[in-house]
Structure 1
């Protein structure tokens, strides 16, 4: 770790204009992005008294090895450039409100011949009606399962639907009356589309109309003494009311709004959001994040809006109104930025009285309870994680903090289908986006030590290649679609800005490299042979600042390179438990990949040995007939119906497949009551 004074810019180098700055570590990885109205004032606050900073901010400035900045022309450009860099680099020390999932919607594909009800995420499709957003997705599935009793619309995938059409048998939902089974002709395409339209009308807010219609039918059935039908209508009414009550009206029916609330302490902040569409609460979502610096509620709110709405999933994600607990300092610029994303006006408001203020109070209470629950659940985890990393560093006598650990495992069955896994842990937590899988062939697959040497060599050759590659300079487009204005500077031969650190080029940003960030510690699954192979691979590449240990399964011993005796950690050690979890995760990841590879190698099609058939025609034949059995039973004329299969090829296929098996004689039917055989 570097001292902040070692890379602090000289007095007067930092401009006083607004801009965006980046801290990088000694591997040139961006670890923090921020913006400021006055760059000099903001950056000097990091270096004036580092010991007086918040714990996470202090860790950031000591992890960093350089700082650079970009001057922009306005607050709006700073907002866009900051968000662009946060999205591109995902800096580890930035407050990240977003998770890896987009919002789930209930969608009805009305443009299809047989509309389908399903849960959809991501970009919207033309001809599909959407309702939501809902969160969690489980809420949508429960709603759909309830509504299928009254509106049995198709929910199956294309593959299931086509298979049912070929076989003439519906799926399970068709048998239990939760699907009208258009696949087998129980309902016409027109009637099924009308049923889907009624489903959409109910979700669109016309629940009262359907409930009244069912009540009338129930009363008519009771008058005719048809109590069985009346009971069915009664249950349908109860199902619709359950769905209707879940989405009670909280605001006027023309209100589309997202309502945010914050609860914070010195180290963490909890955020809750209610999604109100058509006056009804359609979903709820929440995050708990660690605060990097002493950010005010207004700053947290600004970062929240940037990250929740800036991922470009479509303008309908952004409602007309966004209700906030506090007003951001640059509200006009944020409204303009959101208007550009939505295509129409977006209003940021802090409600003071009325129903909206009351609902904001409810959201605030949820945020407060979420933070309290998080504290009670995670207080021990945060302490344990830090203690485990510290204990490992001391037990292994390592000079650096274990910010990143990589673990490798080899998987095979008697030397066949040899694969390896690489799992990554940062700050004691898995980072699944950096997981990697390796396929091992040739001489490297002859034993575990050769495989380990090969994997470590390949991973760190990529690291050295990425490290020495010249990165392209970055720039961000301005709101109007042109490049943001950047101040002039010089970039040296290594691609690193010289002088005051201001980037100049306006070329497109280079993609992030896969292996550019090295670990502090490499853990291999095994004992001295595997440790020696990994250590030798690093030495052959000239890498001396990455440490290697092995965890042997039998006695859970920790082996170091060139040591005759292992390090024995106590069974109750947090450090040992962390190593075991990393090793087990690497083993799981390797086993899954090995099974996939072995499964593919064992899958042999009936058409694989047919001369004259390539992969495309094999796929077309199986798709046309649906199964190998039907394909073998097909005549030469039926084979020619497949595109690309002519008379000669059809005759060759028929000849090589051989005669179709004779159908087995049907077993006689038996009367289960008397045991007598029933004549057919």
Structure 2
């Protein structure tokens, strides 16, 4: 759920989103809701939804999004606690499975993450028991450790520490457990447990049947197929940047995959703060260090076209200026401007690398302004496209008809990712400026009121609301404020209502 500035204020999941969403807007439900829920409902301006394959995936994605955006109205998952992973270090003399919440580059083998911690612990206990794997902590247990351990009796450990099982056989059991955690051959495991459970029930051994039922349910939860969702605002693990870049280059008829892309978006929630964002993707992934944000300076009112022209002009004139300062001999070259910039980049002399593709958020209007500014700077051959959000159409200069890339193609998804990232970054900046402005007093815009007079008024009346209720005579009692000024203040505050 998003507010009017595009900020994410709540993340939730449901099997039936329509039913859950409609429940928020039923008058009877709203009246019974607590203060926090009513405040959330009043703040909702837009929605965005993601479809996943099962409950486990929804938990993983929900946790990722909450940790990434820290929505105001979410309570759970806001800490940095991660879902459990299973780790095994095969380089150990006698490897064992342990749980962890952090994946490290330590040569170990990892499985997960797993959203159901209780089911995971039960599954590991069953695996260790059924396969006779050790659970003791010593890195290389021997006879001395065995004398203080009863795991072979209590936990059905195969006791490799005293040679009761060969090293080759123990590692074969470890490999079988790894295959099960990967989900390989799980149907056979499920069928075997169901058959054993049925047999126990037929023999009236209901306690054993109930135990097998619980094991089976925990295994199904643990081994349910889930995609991993990467932390951070980066690309999800299901995305294939290399393939998407190659496909995008073909769809747009570029000379090759656009390794460096820059996308621009304008955010003008109100005329007070018109801002723009520029995000850069390198090799299909966000390059956060090269993000830029702009406050529009030359445009009055809400004019997306003029605002786009300004930010394009500022961005690429800055690139050309900095590269020319670092390489003063470049202006005497006979090469075209783009060719000289590409050569400087290859030689490592360019302070800022010119992108392979420029993307503007919008249709023909925004694209036309971007093309005009690039041509004025001499960047005639720099590839630029516009992405219109309504039908996800791609507009190309000099082409009357838009390009409709199928929605299941990675090329369009890549364009959507960079466009959405630019939109998020622009709205975040606008939201920041809006919060700053809310801290300012309405008296800042009142004609004839100096900072000293504003301070006097707020010290006397405490707030603007109380000042509105005061009479002109009472306001005029303050030093430096005449009857005419007091009447002007009340008139100004009255117009603001």
Normalising by the smaller structure, the TM-score range is 0.3 to 0.5
TM-score normalised per structure 2: 0.42
Going by fraction, where is strand more abundant, 1 or 2? Answer: 1
TM-score normalised per structure 1: 0.32
